[in-house]
Copies of this chain bind each other. A is one copy, B any other.
Amino acid sequence: MGLGSRFASIVESRGPLCVGIDPSTDSLRTVRLPDTAAGALEFGRAVVAVAATRVGIVKPQVAYFERFGSAGYGALELLIREAREAGLVVIADAKRGDIGSTMEGYASAWLGDGPLQSDALTVSPYQGFAALEPAFSLAEASGATVFVLSSTSNPDADNVQRASLAGEMLPVLVARFARERSGDTKTVGVVVGATRDLAARGLTVSNLDGLLILAPGFGAQGASLTDISHIFGAASPNVIPSVSRSVVYEGLANAATAIEEHLRELGL
Contacts and interface: CB of A to CB of B under 8 A. Distances in A.
Nearest to A122: B98
Contact of A70 (B77, B149, B160): B77
Contact of A97 (B66, B106, B124, B170): B124
A25 interface: yes
Contacts of A169: 163
B154 A128 contact: yes
B161 A126 contact: yes
Interface stretch (A110-118, A235-243, A246-254, A259-267): A110-118
Interface of A: 22, 24-26, 61, 63-64, 66-71, 73-74, 76-77, 95-106, 108-109, 112, 114-116, 124-131, 149, 152-154, 156-165, 169-170, 173, 177
B126 A159 contact: no
Contacts of A109: 63, 66-69
Given A160-B125, A163-B170, A170-B163, A63 B131 contact: no
A161 B97 contact: no
Contacts of A71: 70, 115
A105 B64 contact: yes
A105 B66 contact: yes
B129 A159 contact: yes
A206 B108 CA distance: 40
Nearest to A27: B101
Nearest to A106: B63
A97 B123 CA distance: 10
Given A63-B109, A69-B115, A109-B67, A160 B101 contact: no
A41 to B, nearest CB: 12
